[in-house]
Structures are given as structure tokens and as C-alpha cells.
A and B are shown apart, each in its own frame.
Chain A
Amino acid sequence: AQTVTQSQPEMSVQEAETVTLSCTYDTSESDYYLFWYKQPPSRQMILVIRQEAYKQQNATENRFSVNFQKAAKSFSLKISDSQLGDAAMYFCAYRDVAGGTSYGKLTFGQGTILTVHP
């Protein structure tokens, strides 16, 4: 079974600075997707960025970028120019694309609480 581990329960950053959130995962599959979701106090999960495992190029979405190391099974999120609105719980998630009945299911890590200081 796939597992996702986020080893940083909490992180903090000064406004306008850069912060990196860590995520490792375990899978025997060669093709899969990885995601970072943001969950503010409203509880609604919001997709931040996604990465396809067969793509070597790291995904980027404005101030958000990832460092995907497939061999190391590592998938970190970098937030540049941090803003107060970035404060939330961040979850790393994994999804199979191998087919069968398990595709579609997301496996989440434990989350990292990000605090942004003004």
C-alpha cells in the first residue's frame, strides 16, 4: 500500500520570505501523480499544485513550485514571497494511475501547519 509522510508538523515563515515543506512517499508503482493541497480553517481542500511522475520537469504555479526527486521518493513544496493568505494546513497527496479500482483514490500525509508572520 502507498504511504505518504510529512515529517514537519508545523512550519513558520516571515511574510515575503521563502519556505519549503517536505513530503516523502512510498510506492511500488512507476506512474502516479503527486499533489499539494491547502486546507484553510474553512476546511475546504484547495489544490495548490500537481506533478506527474513521468515528467522530470518540476511543476510550477506562480509562487508555488515543487522539487520532485523520483528516485528518493521525495516531493517538497516551495512557497516563494510568502503571503499572510498562505497560512493554512498543507497536505501532500498521492494518486495511482495504474488502473484497477484504486485509481482516483488520494492518499494523504499527516499535514503541515504553516504560519506566516507579518
Chain B
Amino acid sequence: GAGVSQTPSNKVTEKGKYVELRCDPISGHTALYWYRQSLGQGPEFLIYFQGTGAADDSGLPNDRFFAVRPEGSVSTLKIQRTERGDSAVYLCASSIHGRGGTEAFFGQGTRLTVV
């Protein structure tokens, strides 16, 4: 596609439920990032994929969060046993590679609300 696509745009779930957030990066981009943005704050890094492998998952807050990118394109962020504190906008970005000043292109995010 022309840009980074994230689905769903909005997701409301009940506390304790499992959710999956999907990211379709720009075709040919090997680097993919997930960020979490709480209301009124800057995005915080969660995980970085180079190809199929997670090169840096140091930002995942705990073991309820997991992300995959099995074929090196689409990525899914998975959150188990959701908590109200997980409510935020989850942003995905991709770039041609992860080095230097290459531009990271962002999707419009998924707004997750845990009630």
C-alpha cells in the first residue's frame, strides 16, 4: 500500500481480555517499530523488528505484551489479560532499514480503550 496501515483504528475491550493489533508496513521496508502513546505524551518505544526478528524488545512493559512479524512484513502486537493502564494509542512505523537518519513512516495508530 501507499502508507503504513494499522487496524483496527479503534478498539474497546474489557479488562482481562486478549487483543491483537495489526500493522501493515510499506512494502519493502525491512524495519518495523511499535510505539505506545499515552494521552498528552510522546510515543514510547516498545519493540523493533529487522526483518522477521525482534532486534530490540526492551520497551515491552511486561510479559503480557508480545509482538510477531512471521514473514517480515505484517506485524501483530498482542496484549494478554488487558488492564486499564494499557489504554493508549499504539503506533506502528516502518522504514527501509533501521540505520542512520532514514525516515520512519508512521501509521495512524490504534486507539485501545480498556474498560
Residues of A in contact with B, size category? 20 to 34
Q: A47-B103, A97-B99, A107-B45 are in contact. Are A102 and B56 (CB under 8 A)?
A: yes
CA distance A106 to B95 in the complex (A): 12
User: Digit string of B19-58 for contact with A (CB within 8 Å is 1, else 0)?
Assistant: 0000000000001010100001111110010100001101
B67 within 8 Å of A (CB atoms) = no
Interface residue ranges of A36-76 to B (CB < 8 Å): 42-47, 50, 52
Give chain A residues whose Cβ lies under 8 Å from the Cβ of B45: 105-107
Residue B43 contacts which of A6, A46, A108 (CB distance < 8 angstroms)?
Answer: A108
A25 within 8 Å of B (CB atoms) = no
Q: Are A43 and B108 in contact (CB under 8 A)?
A: yes
Give chain B residues whose Cβ lies under 8 Å from the Cβ of A97: 99-101
Residue B42 contacts which of A44, A95, A108 (CB distance < 8 angstroms)?
Answer: A108
B104 within 8 Å of A (CB atoms) = yes
Residue A110 contacts which of B35, B42, B56, B95 (CB distance < 8 angstroms)?
Answer: B42
CA distance A42 to B107 in the complex (A): 10
CA distance A108 to B106 in the complex (A): 14
Residue B101 contacts which of A6, A44, A50, A91 (CB distance < 8 angstroms)?
Answer: A50
A-B pairs, 10 with minimum CB distance? A104-B98, A108-B42, A45-B106, A33-B101, A101-B56, A43-B109, A44-B108, A105-B45, A43-B108, A101-B55
Known: A43-B109, A111-B40. 7 other contacts (CB 8 A): A4-B42, A43-B108, A44-B108, A101-B48, A104-B50, A104-B95, A107-B45
